[in-house]
Structure 1
């Protein structure tokens, strides 16, 4: 049987679109045990992005898709509650017991008991910025040696700046670097515009905390499409992808960066509204595999690292459950890492 030329062409076009699809996450999610650390990082982040129903921000800064949010009780791909998934990021990153936040103690029992409503844990998830916990979870799951696990992005950004030999990341100017999978692109979240040099100066001057946010690069220029694809946690209350333009040299092109004279986004100034316009201050460049091997083991983890046992108690207790009530949290107690400031 002979097929019409138009049908053959259509089939080839469909094949090409599947093979060279720009979003690499559907292909990457199954490579979480890859020998390369960078691939494992991208695969873990991609798997979560798909689990959260693939929300994304376009190159022109528009939130084009958003299906579920952190506080909901259902909606993840394959089933599951978003708030439980976020609590899992905190727990498996080894950070849950260190937050000191009200409701955090409730999460251990909630994660172990699917029928438990976990209202205290759910409140903790909604009230506590979790983007750094997500990055830390990805790095721990991917077996990144010597990463500074923290509930604040600033801690591992500072580590890359002050301890370049001991950090798995290099501290680079975003516009001068070539992003690749496993890298982190970060911005400062304050009214002041920092940029690369001012952030570096703040760190060198002894700053011990700044509200920041970092996204994970999961693909750069796939199939020659001149785009970078990044995944971040707690971006519009979900695990969301961001797409940014690259130039012919593979560097960021027209990266929307805040300036001191920016017009405020409002219904009357819609041209000024852009979720990608941020104070992009640093690209943390993942070191090559050979350099990572000098810091520690780079083989795929055979299991999730052990997490220190957490207190089993409840905040919004169910009568007759037999679970002890958590002790009252001192609201005046300082929170580690500046958690109330590091909001997303």
Structure 2
């Protein structure tokens, strides 16, 4: 071999060796979808718990601000029950089945009737032949049949529908099932867009949703795939209204109906990017029909499994209206 050929061969070998030892480039993390400046970060709130709060629609500020105001108004009406950042219920004065008068003077069980009636979702239940629904439609609805209907049927989607109508979001598809307006968001119709909670900064006025009682649909990817496979998907789910984002203290708050049988505020942590830290269930095996149950294996010796924030979080519904 000539010297020049030998040098070329050696150089080529060294180059190949260098390529083999170079690690592959790291996969770039998904981009963070930033929160819009929608004017709802400082909503108007009653000055003190238990103070008189408006019972009618709130028509002030942006769409997001109105949604937040109505959700917070109802949480105040229920005397501000809340779940802390560790997933524990810290306060609850009354529940859906009681006669305790709320801050606006309405007995708690009759307030749930208001959510059903004033959202239009009661008609859907009546059309479906759900037992007791028609009894709640009557002007004099203080009947055992209506009370039984309230206890037997989840009303969290009726609450969301009520909030949207009270806030004047007329393009919202009211429904007694959360999955219907989650589907609208996935299909790019209505006032929301479905986004991945793992990469999206939530903003006041958005909805934060999870699917429940299933191990076949896990997280955002699982829900998107389920919609692709079955556009008419029927799946038990739940959504809260995002009411506050505190980037300084890395905290967010949401409000949902029928959370522990009341209108309950939930606190969640944010990471450095402003993304919600959403604890995953300890198991995706369906264990009950309870809408807001904690993780499986919850015992006094395993408190970490008892967090009410451990849910199969699957979507942020981003409010796209100004």
Measured against the shorter chain, the TM-score band is 0.7 to 0.9
Contact 1:157 1:284 in 2 (8 A): yes
Q: Contact 1:23–1:229 (CA<8 Å) still a contact in 2? A: no
Aligned twin of 1:105: 134
Q: TM-score, normalised by structure 2?
A: 0.75
Q: Which residue of 1 aligns with 2:311?
A: 278
Q: Could you tell me which residue of structure 2 aligns to residue 90 of structure 1?
A: 116
Q: How does 1:317-332 map to 2 (within 5 A)?
A: none
2:24: which partner in 1? Answer: none
Spell out the pairing of 1:1-344 with structure 2 (5 A cutoff).
25-26=45-46, 32-99=58-125, 100-109=129-138, 112-113=139-140, 117-162=142-187, 164=188, 166-192=189-215, 194-206=218-230, 207-221=232-246, 224-253=248-277, 255-258=278-281, 260=283, 264-289=297-322
Calculate the TM-score normalised by the size of structure 1.
Answer: 0.71
> How far, CA to CA, are the matches of 2:149 and 2:58 in structure 1?
29
- Structure 2 segments unaligned to the other structure (5+ residues): 1-41, 285-294
Distance (whole Å) between structure 2 residues aligned to residue 23 and residue 62 of structure 1: 25
Q: Give the Å deviation of 1:26.
A: 3.0
Distance 2:121 2:194 in 1: 24
Contact 1:24/1:219 (<8 A) preserved: no
Q: Tell me by how many angstroms 1:273 deviates.
A: 1.1
In the alignment, structure 1 segments of 5+ residues that lack a partner are 1-21, 290-344
Contact residue 32 and residue 39 of structure 1 kept, 8 A = no
- The secondary structure found in structure 1 opposite 2:265 is strand
1:246 is displaced (CA, Å) by 1.2
Of the two, which has the highest radius of gyration?
Answer: 2
Instruction: State how far apart, in whole Å, the 2-side matches of 1:154 and 1:91 are.
Output: 20
CA contact (8 A) 1:72 1:83 kept: yes
* Residues 210-219 or 190-199, more deviating: 190-199
SS where residue 248 of structure 1 aligns?
coil
The answer to whether the Cα contact below 8 Å between 2:44 and 2:69 also exists between their aligned partners in 1 is no
Q: Distance in 2 between matches of 1:23 and 1:276?
A: 24
**Higher RCO by CA contacts (8 Å cutoff, separation 6 or greater):** 1
SS of the equivalent of 1:144 reads: coil
Q: Report how many aligned residue pairs link the two structures.
A: 260
For the 8 Å contact 2:299–2:306, the answer to whether it is kept is yes
Q: Does the residue aligned with 2:172 lie in a helix, a strand or coil?
A: coil
Shift in alpha-carbon separation, 1:285–1:44, aligned structure 2, 3 A: same
Contact 2:203 2:242 in 1 (8 A): yes
Asked if the contact 1:56–1:66 (Cα under 8 Å) also holds between the matched residues in 2, the reply is yes
Q: Report deviation, 1:27.
A: 6.0
